[in-house]
Amino acid sequence: MSSEGKELTLDQQSRWIEETKSWYISDELMEYLDLSLTVTVHGIFSVAGVMSNIVNVVIFVKLGLKDSMSIGLLTLSLTDLAVTALQLASSLSYMVKLIYESSPLDPWLFGGYFFSWSRYVAYLISCWITTVISVERCFCVVYPFTVRQMFTRSRCVAVLLAICVTHVGVHLPVFIYAKLEWVEQSPPQFVGNDTWVSGRCVFTVIFNKDSAMWEILSDMIAGISLSVISQLILIICTVWMIYSLKASSKIRQQSETGHGNDSLKASKEGKTEVLSNKERRLVKVVLFMAINLSACNIPRFVTIAVHHILPGMNLGAYQNLDTLFWEISYLFGTICCTTNTLVYYTLNTKYRSLLKQMLLKRHGNTSDS
């Protein structure tokens, strides 16, 4: 094929992508969805997430970093805080875009690029931290007497650092290869009498072949491959923890009804230990966190599937529909990072007790003043 044929083909493809932008969702409807979903709903959950995760960090620091579990929960709260804070910044950037359309600094540079990509990386890290915590709880059920030797504080820190470095390293070239430039949006206009009005320029981000290639590559490695592996491990751990809780409850009931020897024998043969009340609570905390994350990840995996199955969407077609899918998946991710606090409060007695003490102390100080 000649070079002219290639240029014609690319030109036709560009026109087709532009035509399909509003096939399923009109531009007017997309503006309304941006205002209601991205700015309002997402902004509310982001504010709640920032506040709740700040409380989580304070409480877990006060409880002390005695073991790998406490370190994991603190790190998870920090990454959840990063996700919600970056999402809040992204929502505010979209608000600036709607209010100040003539801004010389493109709000999308921060809201749709820097903040969104950083939030995406933080969320993937948060997913893997939840998976690591779930794996530890599974080993706690299977090997309760050796789990502390297997999951030491230093090993936990090393694993968490490896997760962070891997995800940041994979996505870093996306930021490095993108260029920041002044782009002319409207040319200079002649108004008569040899007078020209200067055109409008906007400082924004420009993608080139290298940045586009790294965007696809990083998404394939971290956003799809590593993410799917993490989710599969999480599902296995979730099923195992549910089975272990049921088996432990059954053995405990048999012991209480006078079949202690039989239950002990069944425990040894089935390699299931009778969990203490504290262990059962910790397993329940991690179990509900895993279920919460798995449920909130469904929209993201559906979006990825549709993005690669629907012809042309991975090339930029159906832009409004694609944007809506991703916004919904991001919203559920923010909900996940926000609602972990409810799991801690409901199932973690130490967390609940310390939170009540902090609230009562603050209320007492307010009353005295």
CATH number of the domain within which 276 lies: 1.20.1070.10
Q: pTM for the whole thing?
A: 0.84
Identify whether 159 is part of a domain.
Answer: no
| Closest C-alpha among 355, 325, 324 to residue 341 | 355
Identify whether 241 is part of a domain.
Answer: yes
Query: CA dist 71 to 127, 134, 135, 287, Å?
Result: 15, 13, 14, 17
| Closest C-alpha among 114, 119, 126 to residue 56 | 126
Q: Return the beta strands (E) in the chain as ranges.
A: 179-186, 189-192, 195-197, 200-206
Q: What is the pLDDT of residue 5?
A: 41
Q: What is the pLDDT of residue 59?
A: 95
Identify whether 310 is part of a domain.
Answer: yes
Identify whether 174 is part of a domain.
Answer: no
Query: CA dist 327 to 219, 264, 365, Å?
Result: 17, 51, 42
pLDDT exceeds cutoff 70 at 99: yes
- The top-scoring range by mean pLDDT among 35-44, 241-250, 291-300, 346-355 is 291-300
User: Span 182-203, mean pLDDT?
Assistant: 60
Label residue 365 by pLDDT band (50, 70, 90).
low
Q: Which of 1-15, 293-307, 328-342 shows the lowest mean pLDDT across its residues?
A: 1-15
What is the spatial distance between Cα 202 and Cα 183, in angstroms, rounded to a whole number? 5
- Residue 40's SS3 state is helix
Q: Write down the mean pLDDT value for the chain.
A: 81
User: Span 92-109, mean pLDDT?
Assistant: 77
Label residue 83 by pLDDT band (50, 70, 90).
very high
Q: What is the pLDDT of residue 369?
A: 54
Expressed as residue numbers, the domain containing 265 is: 24-103+127-145+226-368
User: Span 296-301, mean pLDDT?
Assistant: 93
Identify whether 94 is part of a domain.
Answer: yes
Residue 294: both structure tokens together: 């798995």
Identify whether 242 is part of a domain.
Answer: yes
Q: What is the pLDDT of residue 186?
A: 60
What is the spatial distance between Cα 198 and Cα 254, in angstroms, rounded to a whole number? 85
pLDDT exceeds cutoff 70 at 116: yes
Asked whether the beta carbons of 340 and 56 are under 8 A apart, the reply is yes
What is the number of domains present in the chain? 1
**Which residue in this structure is represented by tokens 């709880």?**
137
pLDDT exceeds cutoff 60 at 8: no
Identify whether 359 is part of a domain.
Answer: yes
**Residue 24 backbone phi and psi in degrees, to 5:** -95, -30
- Long-range residue pairs from 62-66, CB within 8 A, at least 24 positions apart, any chain: 62/354, 63/350, 63/351, 63/354, 65/153
- Long-range residue pairs from 209-214, CB within 8 A, at least 24 positions apart, any chain: 210/173, 210/177, 211/173, 211/174, 211/177, 211/178, 211/179, 214/173, 214/174, 214/177
Question: pLDDT digits over 27-78, tens only?
Answer: 888 888 888 888 889 999 999 999 999 999 999 999 988 888 899 999 999 9
Q: How would you class 352 by CB atoms within 10 Å of its CB: exposed for 0-12, middle for 13-18, buried for 19 or more?
A: middle
Identify whether 200 is part of a domain.
Answer: no
Q: Which of 12-21, 225-234, 308-317 shows the lowest mean pLDDT across its residues?
A: 12-21
- Long-range residue pairs from 14-17, CB within 8 A, at least 24 positions apart, any chain: 16/312, 16/317, 17/312, 17/315, 17/316, 17/317, 17/319
- Please give the angle made by the CA atoms of 285, 247 and 251, to the nearest 5 degrees: 115
Q: Which of 14-28, 76-90, 186-200 shows the lowest mean pLDDT across its residues?
A: 186-200
pLDDT, greater one: 222 or 186: 222
Compute how many other C-beta atoms are within 10 angstroms of the C-beta atom of residue 312.
12
Asked whether the beta carbons of 303 and 326 are under 8 A apart, the reply is yes
Label residue 177 by pLDDT band (50, 70, 90).
confident
What is the spatial distance between Cα 69 and Cα 136, in angstroms, rounded to a whole number? 8
Asked whether the beta carbons of 75 and 158 are under 8 A apart, the reply is no
User: Span 216-228, mean pLDDT?
Assistant: 87
pLDDT exceeds cutoff 70 at 199: no
How many percent of the chain have pLDDT more than 70? 82
Q: What is the pLDDT of residue 261?
A: 54
User: Span 85-96, mean pLDDT?
Assistant: 88
Q: What is the pLDDT of residue 209?
A: 75
Q: What is the pLDDT of residue 271?
A: 46
What is the spatial distance between Cα 289 and Cα 74, in angstroms, rounded to a whole number? 14
Question: pLDDT digits over 120-165, tens only?
Answer: 999 999 999 999 999 988 888 777 777 778 888 999 999 999 999 9
**Which residue in this structure is represented by tokens 């939170």?**
355
pLDDT, greater one: 310 or 123: 123
